[in-house]
Amino acid sequence: MGEQTQVKFPQEVIDEYASLGVDLPALFSAGHLGNRMGVHIVEASAERIVGTMPVEGNTQPYGLLHGGASAVLAETLGSIGSMLHGGVTKIAVGVDLNCTHHRGVRSGLVTGVATPVHRGRSTATYEIVITDEQDKRVCTARLTCLLRDVSPKDADNVPGASAPGTTG
């Protein structure tokens, strides 16, 4: 658990970020929390983001998948989609996350699929459907992110990134 797999991006997106000195798969990893929880991003574009997470290690006291774990998976996937939609000049900041938990899961792997509901100039909203290994819906989530301009302060927190008008 915690090892990140290679994220799949369209080549034109990889090239756009690479021209700015940004390692796109590293930028769009699951982050420290997601890595600790075993989140793996298996597909990513602005139109569809897919990720998985093990139930083991992410349960509440009754042995069921913790609702907060589903929220982490959902926010990770929706944030990646929002960042890809916003492009290299924008940072996606989550402003609203809503999760409805439909059924409990005790073991195996859950899969989340994020698809856009709205992709505008200043906000992006994604619906994230999380299912179990039998393709039964476990959770439905919706994430809205504010898309704001990249600042030099943001670039300081992303290895290999630089804000517009600066050097990395």
List the catalytic residues. Answer: 75
Q: Write the DSSP symbol of residue 78.
A: H
Say if residues 74 and 139 touch (Cβ distance below 8 Å).
yes
Return the H-helix or E-strand segment holding 131: strand 123-131
Q: Are strands 90-101 and 40-44 parallel, antiparallel or unpaired?
A: unpaired
3-class DSSP state of 98: strand
Q: Which phi and psi (to 5°) does residue 83 adopt? A: -65, -40
Say if residues 71 and 39 touch (Cβ distance below 8 Å).
no
Say if residues 148 and 86 touch (Cβ distance below 8 Å).
no
In what side-by-side order are the strands of the sheet with 137-149?
40-44, 49-54, 109-119, 123-131, 137-149, 90-101
Contacts of 19 (CB under 8 A, 6+ apart): none
